[in-house]
Structure 1
């Protein structure tokens, strides 16, 4: 059965990744365009997360939001800022993704 909460959660995660990834470009919020993008992305992020938690248990929604946000920001930072995760970082992200999948599939929360 389809749960619309996961669409809200996907929007929340995507906007959180956008906002977090652009913080570096704000130059301490002195650069207006990226600053507006960051603030807007976080507003959308928390609005959508609030909506998602109306359909998904808080523990599951928050763990997926955190986990996939971490992985997403890492991937975007590799593209935008040419940052390269080392082996422990890659291993840790694999654990985060695995934990999110396991919690979502098997948790009875």
Structure 2
């Protein structure tokens, strides 16, 4: 169950971060409310997930998966370039998450 909560938290954080540009510096009410609601859901679910799993593992997954997903969203939908350096960085982040998960097993 904590991994399901974490997965939903990550999805909410990705959605909220994807909306950030649309808020136009938090001057557009609807995208701003949606963005803040997404972050609220994300943090609430993260808090529930870490009750039953190591916080380092949860946060590594949160940050790693979120970073990789936002880079993909930026490249696919926001016209941001996906350079070799970005891909290399994402690979390293994912490798770090895997290592933390392997080391965090009970």
TM-score, normalised relative to structure 1 = 0.90
- Report whether the alignment pairs 1:60 with 2:57: yes
- Report whether the alignment pairs 1:29 with 2:26: yes
Post-superposition, which runs of at least 4 consecutive aligned residues in structure 1 deviate over 4 A? none
Please give the per-residue CA displacement for 1:37-96, whole angstroms capped at 9, x wherever unaligned. Answer: 101100000000001101110111111111111111111111221112211110110011
Structure-2 separation of matches of 1:81 and 1:108 = 37
Structure-2 separation of matches of 1:65 and 1:33 = 26
CA contact (8 A) 2:14 2:66 kept: yes
Structure-2 separation of matches of 1:41 and 1:75 = 19
What residue ranges of structure 2 are gaps of 5+ in the alignment? none
What residue ranges of structure 1 are gaps of 5+ in the alignment? none
Q: CA RMSD in A?
A: 1.3
Q: How many residues align?
A: 106
Deviation at 1:102, TM superposition (A): 2.3
TM-score, normalised relative to structure 2 = 0.92
